[in-house]
Amino acid sequence: MIVELGTEEFDTAVEKRTQEYMRNARVAGFRPGKVPLSVLRKHYGKQIRHEVFEDLVDSTFISAIKEHELHPAAPPVIEPDIDLEINRYAYKAIFEILPEFELQSIQGHKIKRPLIEINENDVDDMIERLRQRDAEFSPVDRPSADGDWIAAKYIGTVDGQPFQDDKAVPIFINLGNEKENPNVPCPGFESHLFNLSTDQEHEFDLRFPDDYKDSTLAGKDVHFKVEVESVREKTLPSLEELIDNMGVTDGEISTFRAEVHTNMQRELKKRIRSHLRSQVFDALMQANPIIVPKSLIEEETQQIAAQWQSKWKIKNALQSLQPLFIQTAEYRVRLGFLLQKAVKDFNAQADEDSIRNKIEELAETYEEPDVFIKYCYENVEQLGEIKAVVKEDLVIQRLLQDAEIEEEPTRFLQWIDALEAKDSQAIVE
């Protein structure tokens, strides 16, 4: 955008600023306020014109964007266009504008919603999962057998050269349970660890499958040398021990089962919300391929990279981290505009009852709910975040009315495990 500054307006502003300078200007050989006009202009004329130009840029830019109903995404880059010979003062303002768009619905988009009823069998499965979580691994003085856990170190070589590391690689393996061993270096590795004792060394050969994920190793022979550090037997706590570990006040099995059921319901509600939220947001992004300012994407990218640098204590890596987060940053910026528009279009309001219900829902996960509730109402930033969540929930529910909902009957742990497996795969990719 090119903005012309009126010559008369500019000269008038220069004259006014010159008079202001005359009251306090200091020039060698003259008392303050007594500097002749010609001398003042010689010493301060260039500075005065520069200051006036900057002031007029600020005021005229604001007027220009209001006149043309433009909404800048960031401060403009100003390129002066001055020709003193013809007394012309102008500038070019270069800036990105915020996107203007009509929000498109997600009609026709399919959203999958799990249909889950938590029954007593599900509670039994969860209790068994909790026992597995609290299991102890005790060293045994015997050869390894099915179900044991082996802590070992290995070196694998292909054509005489280590294919992973020059140093021995540690590994912890559950014999007879492939699901527990996602990090075995090669298919068939686990089967060679039976009937081994602590401190025993064992060598064997395997061949990588032809379709192995690492094409440089596919179809090649590998020689492994394994040193067993310990053989451990897994011992599960009894139900009574588990109840004690969980801090059930009265120690009753019925109370424990009720608490487990309540926690499962709470976790299910949270997971379903997150699952629907991600699907709705993806559908909203697909239905509204808006273009957002690059400056905002760059700013968001820098913020994400800075957060990672701080979280993982990575020094001097801000520039190298930023390219990793460009897609995430663009997604967040685009989604932010879409949600703002949706909140406005749907008139999503966070009333007092909705805010209170959300705070009480969050407080259920705390040992002292009343303390958390009090904190939320006394902390302006926390309360603002909760209001934003309430509005987001309202937007999601409104958008879901237009989508095609596919209900998928399933069981609690089966669905949770599938979600976590999907998330793990996404991290790997």
Contact assessment for residue 219 and residue 147, using Cβ atoms and an 8 Å cutoff: no
Is CATH 3.10.50.40 correct for 136-235? yes
d(C-alpha 191, C-alpha 195), whole Å: 10
Residue 79 in tokens? 């390129």
The pTM for the full model equals: 0.77
DSSP track, 7-59 = HHHHHHHHHHHHHHHHHH---TTS-TT---HHHHHHHHHHHHHHHHHHHHHHH
Q: Where are the domains of the chain?
A: 2-94, 110-118+241-428, 136-235
CA 71 to chain centre: 28
Q: Angle 402-264-379 (CA atoms, 0-180°, nearest 5)?
A: 75
Give the pLDDT confidence score for residue 35 in this predicted structure: 81
- Beta partners for residue 204, in sequence order: 224
Contact assessment for residue 262 and residue 268, using Cβ atoms and an 8 Å cutoff: no
Q: To which residue do tokens 């090119």 refer?
A: 2
Class of domain 2-94: alpha beta
How would you write the pLDDT of the chain (429 residues) with one tens digit per residue?
Answer: 999 998 888 999 999 988 888 887 778 878 777 788 888 888 888 899 999 999 999 999 999 999 999 999 999 999 999 888 888 889 999 999 999 999 999 999 999 999 999 999 999 999 999 999 999 989 999 999 999 999 999 999 998 888 876 788 999 999 988 777 778 888 899 999 999 999 999 999 999 999 988 888 899 999 999 999 999 998 999 999 999 988 888 889 999 999 999 999 999 999 999 999 999 999 999 999 999 999 999 999 999 988 888 887 777 767 777 888 899 999 999 999 999 999 999 999 999 999 999 999 999 989 899 999 999 999 999 999 999 999 999 999 999 999 999 999 999 999 999 998 887 665 545
Give the pLDDT confidence score for residue 163 in this predicted structure: 84
Give the pLDDT confidence score for residue 209 in this predicted structure: 92
3-state secondary structure of 306: helix
Specify the DSSP element, H or E, that contains 223: strand 221-235
Alpha helices in 312-347 (DSSP H): 318-321, 326-345
Pick from 145, 168, 146, 143: which is nearest to 155 by CA?
168
Asked if domains 2-94 and 110-118+241-428 share a fold, the reply is no
3-state secondary structure of 356: helix
Give the pLDDT confidence score for residue 425 in this predicted structure: 63
Buried b (16+ CB within 10 A) or exposed e, 125-140: bbbeebbeeeeebeeb
d(C-alpha 185, C-alpha 155), whole Å: 10
Class of domain 110-118+241-428: mainly alpha
